[in-house]
Amino acid sequence: MRVLAFLSLLLLAACGNLPRPFQHEGDDAPLSSPRSMQPISVADIPGYPNLAKQMVDALEREDIAATLNPGGDNFLTLTGRKEGANQMHWAVTNAKGGQVGEFTEALGSDLAMRTASTIGHLLRGDDLGGADLAARTKVAVDKVTVIGSLDADLLKRALIQALERQGMAVVQDGAVMRVSGTLRITQGLAGHDLVEVTWVVNDDKGVEVGKVNQGSPIMRDELLSKAMDTTHQIAEGGAEGIKQLVHTKY
């Protein structure tokens, strides 16, 4: 049973309360630098069970947000298949199935690194991704407070990465929305702790746009042993709600 399989999300905005359950995979490599690329969903690669995960890691090192999970409307998809004796054919498509680019790379121990570099050049073009970054809604992540056993810095970094996966540009200056959050863990009954999270979204004038509330009882042993997965699942779910609130204005 996943740690946060039943964690619920509640958006509090002018339109009313919108309860929505969610479940997400964790990610062990949170990055906090702004991304200028569309996020990429990496599909399983037939005959190479570990290569998709290697591609996610290599794309992250290129400052391109990537995931093994299915992507949304703003995601690109990377697929790969062996071609001939020693080549891997790669294709990058958009959410509508349109071809963004395709190429081949020779098989080898550095295949993922070479492929990620080629994709970075393909997507950035001559302006190094500036046009894509300029078109994104700019959001700043302010203070994240944790009252309990989880790591506040990790939660903030995970939220930044999750927001970038949702197609937003996380910046320090020039943000049109600002996000802050508080996570509180309180001891419950029968070996469970209650995890409650509130994300507050303000516009650039400091006016509150809405809140994203998350909460669930979690077994204490799992909370301690799977702290990183728990943190990333919270961030991914929170980012979904924050995106909805941001899109009420932009």
pLDDT above 60: residue 181: yes
Query: At which of 96, 128, 160 does a domain end?
Result: 128
Q: Which pLDDT band, with edges at 50, 70 and 90, does 15 fall under?
A: very low
N-to-C CA span, the chain:
37
Q: In this structure, are 25 and 141 located in the same domain?
A: yes
* pLDDT-based confidence at residue 156 (cuts at 50, 70, 90): very high
User: Is residue 47 one of the residues assigned to a domain?
Assistant: yes
Mean pLDDT is highest, among 77-91, 126-140, 235-249, for: 77-91
Q: Name the DSSP letter for residue 12.
A: E
In this prediction, residue 100 carries a pLDDT of 86
Per-residue pLDDT band at 18 (split at 50, 70, 90): very low
CA distances to 41, 84, 117, 121, 168 from 113, rounded to whole Å, are: 16, 21, 6, 13, 25
| Tokens found for residue 183 | 């996570």
Percent of the chain with pLDDT over 70: 81
Quote the distance between the C-alpha of residue 53 and its chain's center: 15
Mean pLDDT value across residues 24-37: 34
Give yes or no: residues 106 and 159 share one domain. no
* pLDDT on residue 23: 34
Q: Which CATH number is 28's domain given?
A: 3.30.160
More confident residue, 87 or 24: 87
Q: Is 1 among the domain residues? A: no
* Better-predicted residue by pLDDT, 186 or 35: 186
Residue 91 lies in a domain: yes
pLDDT-derived band at 31 (thresholds 50, 70, 90) equals very low
CATH number of the domain at 79, please: 3.40.50.11830
Domain check: are 153 and 224 in the same one? Answer: yes
The tally of domains found in the chain comes to 2
**249 vs 69, higher pLDDT:** 69
Domain extent for 150: 8-32+137-246
pLDDT at 72 over 60: yes
What average pLDDT is seen over the chain? 80
Structure tokens at 50: 């570990």
- Predicted confidence at residue 135, as pLDDT, reads 66
* pLDDT (0 to 100) of residue 144: 96
pLDDT at 248 over 60: yes
In a domain, 149, yes or no: yes
The strand order across the sheet containing 99-106 reads 66-67, 40-42, 76-83, 87-93, 99-106
